[in-house]
Homo-oligomer: A and B are copies of this chain.
Amino acid sequence: MSPRAGLTTDAVVDLAVKILDEAGPGELTLAKVAERAGVAAPSLYKHVKNLADLKRLIDLRIVREMADALRTAATGRERGDAIKAIADAYRAYLQHHPHRTGALTAAPDRADDELSQATHAVAEVVFAVLRPFGFDHVQAVHATRCLRAAVHGFAGLEASGGFGRPEDVDESFEVLKTMLVQGLTNYSEQK
């Protein structure tokens, strides 16, 4: 089915993600991907439409991985425990892959169903975790946004080296998680 049995789109994305992780988004070029693949740069266009398409595929993979990680973290937990678990999972993912922050910040192109759905899947996990709190739909949207903003903001700043001071970052995150759980609990009780 494939002459030379060489590259595939997935393999190209693999290499690209590796470069992203090692060197950051600024260093991700088709030329470097081609070099790693042992192939001339134009050959990549047989597997990927262009650089923008490659970046989209990378984002898609990352968002899906994050959704999986959060789903895994949430299973078998409830309420505060579940919230803290997905917060930890989100942060751990970006600690392991600091250069992937962009993929989770970028707005999914409205017309890109696949990526929109992947992003939606992340929100779904949060939604599910919030269900026991008994929010109505609008409240659940507000709560999801707050949770996502706080956790993504923290993990993103940490990943980009934004916390310069020596004080223990783990403990800061504990404080944040406590604030979120208490805050969401309060929000669910206030009518």
Q: Which residues on A are within 8 Å of B, measured CB to CB?
A: 101, 105-108, 110, 116, 138, 141-143, 145-146, 148-154, 156-157, 160-165, 167, 169, 171-172, 175-176, 178-180, 182-184, 186-187
Contact = CB atoms under 8 A, between A and B. Distances in A.
Contacts of A146: 150, 154, 172, 175-176, 179
Contact of A160 (B105, B160, B163, B186): B105
Given A107-B160, A141-B167, A154-B153, A186 B182 contact: yes
Contacts of A162: 105, 107
B187 A141 contact: no
Given A182-B183, A183-B179, A138 B167 contact: yes
Contacts of A138: 167
B176 A179 contact: no
Most buried by B among A138, A157, A163, A165: A157
A117 to B, nearest CB: 12
Given A179-B146, A179-B187, A161 B107 contact: yes
Nearest to A150: B150
B142 A175 contact: yes
B150 A167 contact: no
Contacts of A176: 145-146, 149-150
Contacts of A164: 107-108, 110, 116
A105 B107 CA distance: 16
24 contacts: A101-B105, A105-B160, A105-B162, A106-B160, A107-B162, A138-B167, A142-B172, A145-B163, A145-B169, A145-B172, A145-B175, A145-B176, A146-B176, A148-B153, A149-B154, A150-B153, A150-B176, A152-B157, A153-B153, A153-B156, A178-B183, A179-B183, A179-B186, A180-B183
